[in-house]
Structure 1
């Protein structure tokens, strides 16, 4: 059957089992998901028209389309969707479509391994999934590791596509870029976030770009049924970031489903994934992974790579790198609060035992009791306020820019992080 036939026939039957999910589901497509998709399609064939969507707070995320012509960016097609779904599920006021349901349905409708849905058919896919809004977009790339993402938000009932602000950077900036897309969705949907939700949304999926790309590759391999190779990619992700919860959970999920040998699928594995040819296009995932992880190591200290050819299956040992740190916008929504102050959140790529000092300048100072604290070994929270205040008047606030220097942070092995400097303004970072 042709895809267009399914689009015309699918309807309410799809949502009788599932409309959306509010709790983070698994990442591995199971037989149960496939059975659901088959039954949904069969039921839809009996219907004559697509139904309306009653729940306005349902959001789905389609895979992003890599238009750059650079195959090393392919993991971001599903990767961006995974990051956005993971974050959106932290918002209590909306329901979010599970990725595995989307993947199972796309497989059943013969969309191919990429699962890319074009703009013309996206609104109908949204109706099939019971999503009032769909997020998606295009990935474009320039020279070296540069890339830009043009996100869109689709109003499914109106079949209206609203373009969001383009975000750009390098591969290492992918976490910041995803957050810009995320908060753009929040703004467009007029979602009011609690301070707890905003703090959770500011947290990156992982502190390691290489870990993220390895995980994205693993998910795509799993979707194609290459479970042994997928498990090894999850292991690679955990070698880069042993606190990467989603990678750990996905590996455990595969073990519990009997899709991988628990004796070989461990976070201590040093056997690289063998190249796996894609079902479409004929490119090698080993070669793609090698290029992607090569880009991701810029400034990241990653020391392993995957072999796409030859007989040498021994990867380089991970370098004994010190910890690294990333920052999020101030918890109040990306703006410095005059006089009142607020909290800055920083995230480490590994467990930290202490930080020697945090200095703040620009007419601002540390505030709170204590003014700085390490939380869950991987987060640094720093309180801030204007230097002096009298009523609603700020004194000694001589700049709209706050400069924060974090120094002397050590991991549990005693390795010291290089000093890191961050700037925040009245408009955010």
Structure 2
């Protein structure tokens, strides 16, 4: 088990150093120089669904991913990418359910090198959508910030904006006016307004994680029609489509190889 953990950690460290690698966060941006004392490493975990409606189970993953992408625009925040975080959770055999408590989350944060972790929940959808979050310092286990936002479920963009600003206030980093402008621009570029659109996007992320690339691309195509200006959706769609094409290519090559092998065996048998 220790060897497996070390392998995962090495892969995560390698991935964190490859800033030019395409990801669901969007096109790579040049990393500005930021003194270590002013920066923070942050991991946003999937939000729990506490609404009692299982339709919203996938939404927690999508919300965490959208927030990670938004916050990645702030130069003083180093965000752990969703695929790296999910790889660690999967490798450790953990499931983000109601039993995924703060202590377990802190262990994940420690393994992945995060200074702070963001834990959240979808607490209600009717009559208004309510999101509850808290920022926890990994070293001290102290909750340094809590935030609750409520609003119409079709004003998801507004809820995300308010939540991101509130969470940053709980992390001890330098937040300049320029950084706030970058955050606002990133949020606008990733914009998804309707909860139902975000649910479909979240379902596509889950399918992608399961290796169902073609189905994920089909879902993302639908999302792209509903949020055509979202850079986040566009990047995710392109990645899923390319992965699906590679998967299809391997399948076709495998069928051809099997056919040729069967023909060769048949000829030799004669």
Q: TM-score range by the shorter chain?
A: 0.7 to 0.9
Compared CA separation, residues 225 and 10, structure 1 to 2 (3 A): closer
Query: Hey, what's the Cα distance between the residues in 2 that align with 1:163 and 1:62?
Result: 15
Is the contact made by 1:164 and 1:181 (CA closer than 8 Å) also made in structure 2? no
Q: Which has the higher contact order (CA 8 A, sep 6+)?
A: 2
Aligned to 1:192, the other structure's residue is in SS state coil
Choose the corresponding residue for 1:132, options 90, 105, 115.
115
**Change over 3 Å in CA distance of 1:23–1:158 after alignment to 2:** farther
Check conservation: 2:216, 2:240, Cα contact below 8 A. Answer: no
Residues in 1 aligned to 2:137 and 2:233: alpha-carbon distance in whole angstroms: 32
Q: 1:185, CA displacement in angstroms?
A: 2.0
The answer as to 2:61 corresponding to 1:81 is no
Scaled by the length of structure 2, the TM-score of the pair is: 0.73
Q: Kindly name which structure, 1 or 2, has the bigger radius of gyration based on alpha carbons.
A: 1
201, 206, 209: which one aligns with 2:191: 206
Output the CA distance in 2 between the equivalents of 1:115 and 1:223.
Answer: 21
**CA deviation string 1:294-348 (max 9, x = no partner):** xxxxxxxxxxxxxxxxxxxxxxxxxxxxxxxxxxxxxxxxxxxxxxxxxxxxxxx
How far off is 1:252 after superposition?
1.6
Partner residue, 1:244 = 230
The 3-state SS of whatever aligns with 1:225 is coil
2:210 is matched with 224
Could you say which residue in structure 2 is the equivalent of 1:185?
Answer: 167
Counterparts of 2:104 and 2:43, CA distance in 1: 14
Q: TM-score, normalised by structure 1?
A: 0.48
3-state DSSP class of the match of 1:165?
strand
Q: Tell me what 1:57 maps to.
A: 40
Q: Unpaired segments of 5 or more residues in structure 2?
A: 26-36, 250-270
RMSD over equivalenced CA pairs, Å: 3.2
State whether residues 63 and 116 of structure 1, in contact with CA within 8 Å, keep that contact through their aligned partners in structure 2.
Answer: no
Q: Which has the higher helix share?
A: 2
Aligned residues: 230
Q: Is 1:255 paired with 2:241? A: yes
Counterparts in 2 of 1:23 and 1:142: CA distance versus 1, 3 Å: same
CA distance, structure 1, for counterparts of residue 204 and residue 7 of structure 2:
33
Structure 1: tracts of 5 or more residues without a match: 29-53, 263-429
Q: Distance in 1 between matches of 2:72 and 2:62?
A: 16
Written as runs of structure 1 = structure 2, the 5 A alignment for 1:38-57 is 57=40
Residues in 1 aligned to 2:11 and 2:241: alpha-carbon distance in whole angstroms: 30
Question: In 2, distance between residues paired with 1:117 and 1:235?
Answer: 32
Superimposed CA distance per residue, residues 262-299 of structure 1 (whole angstroms, 9 cap, x where no aligned partner) = 9xxxxxxxxxxxxxxxxxxxxxxxxxxxxxxxxxxxxx
Who is 1:26 aligned against?
23
Q: Which whole-Å deviations, capped at 9, do the CAs of 1:341-372 have from their partners, x for residues lacking one?
A: xxxxxxxxxxxxxxxxxxxxxxxxxxxxxxxx
